[in-house]
Amino acid sequence: MSEPDYLSREATPYHVFKNKRNFLKKLIALGLLPSVNGFASESSSDSYITDKQLVTSYNNYYEFSTNKKMVKHLAQELDTSNWSLHIDGLVDKPMQLSMSDIFDMKLIKRTYKLRCVEGWSAVIPWQGILLRDLLALARPTIKHGFVKFSSIYAPSVMLGQRTNILPWPYIEGLRLDEAMHPLTLLATGMYDAPLPKQNGAPIRLVVPWKYGYKSIKAVSKITLTDTRFESSWMQSSPSEYGFYANVNPNIPHPRWSQRREVPLGQTKKIKTQLFNGYAEQVANLYASDNINRLY
């Protein structure tokens, strides 16, 4: 990935953002809007939801293009009807689920900040299911281990998959305890609507304390395993992208600092927080690890 141009063209001038923020604050005070929940230690000035228009038109989705603004046009070609999500590996009940099976599960809403390793972030209201609820259905036979996620492989429409910019399909992974954490979502929607194709329809992972590349789009397979494996980004750039990829302002990317980030739609950088602001909820996962080594 490359460091971005900090969104110069689509950035909202700061005074526009400020007025909007004050307006939202008034609505919240009047009880007309819920306050943003889900990120514990963000200051209230950062707790605003990013414009849907920005979140749906500035996308990383290398299967389609490395040009963030082209993705929303190209991604419409993917046929997401008749989707099946396979769960296999070290489980009692391997299964193949349709999207209607998923929609029969308990759907929840969560507003999370997504922090891309490139240095931008967005606050997004998601809908979806808890990954732990899905894994419980398949009944893992291991207590410790790893969960491997694969995106769909469809080079006839995913033109990026005809290039070797990344090994395909896009693979990501979590440790089993991270996958079972109650913050970890499989999202089927955003902004109270079905997930747009450019954002990973029909179903994508959302892990808010990790860099955005862990939040794999268009998931078609979930495999439980007792051995760690390499994600697509680890295979393509092992010195730049790790398995854990926890948001950590103290560990610079080899080519840029991770101390700050630009919220989409703003021009002013804000401080990047350890675990993207979710330390209170997730730090215990890493109690026995050196988090400044864990990457």
Ligand X SMILES: Nc1nc2c(c(=O)[nH]1)N[C@H]1C(S)=C(S)[C@@H](COP(=O)(O)O)O[C@H]1N2
Binding residues (CB under 6 A) for ligand X: these are: 55, 59-63, 114, 116, 151, 170, 199-200, 212-213, 215-218
CB of 86 to ligand X, least distance (A): 16
CB of 258 to ligand X, least distance (A): 14
CB of 195 to ligand X, least distance (A): 9
185 part of the interface to Mo ion, by CB under 5 A? no
209 part of the interface to Mo ion, by CB under 5 A? no
59 part of the interface to Mo ion, by CB under 5 A? no
Q: Determine the interface stretch with Mo ion among 62-70, 86-94, 110-118, 152-160 (rule: CB under 5 A).
A: 110-118
CB of 185 to ligand X, least distance (A): 13
Binding at 56: pick from Mo ion, ligand X, none (beta carbon under 5-8 Å per type): none
60 part of the interface to Mo ion, by CB under 5 A? yes
CB of 215 to Mo ion, least distance (A): 8
Q: Determine the interface stretch with Mo ion among 9-17, 112-120, 140-148, 214-222 (rule: CB under 5 A).
A: 112-120
Instruction: Provide the CB-side half-sphere exposure for 199 (13 A, CA).
Output: 24
CB of 142 to Mo ion, least distance (A): 29
213 part of the interface to Mo ion, by CB under 5 A? yes
Binding at 199: pick from Mo ion, ligand X, none (beta carbon under 5-8 Å per type): ligand X
Between CA 60 and CA 199, with CA 89 as vertex, the angle to 5 degrees is 15
CB of 215 to ligand X, least distance (A): 5
17 part of the interface to Mo ion, by CB under 5 A? no
Residue 168, token pair as written in the block: 């395909």
198 part of the interface to Mo ion, by CB under 5 A? no
Residue 145, token pair as written in the block: 């281990």
Q: Determine the interface stretch with Mo ion among 111-119, 174-182, 232-240, 284-292 (rule: CB under 5 A).
A: 111-119
Q: Which is nearer to ligand X, 47 or 65 (CB)?
A: 65
**230-245: buried (b, 16+ CB within 10 Å) or exposed (e) per residue?**
ebbbbebeeeebbbbb
Closest CA to 128 of 243, 25, 244, 38: 38
Residue with tokens 């769960």: 87
Query: How many CB atoms neighbour CB 286 within 10 A?
Result: 18
Q: Distance (Å, rounded) from C-alpha 85 to C-alpha 124?
A: 24
200 part of the interface to Mo ion, by CB under 5 A? no
Interface with Mo ion by CB under 5 A: which residues?
Answer: 60, 116, 212-213
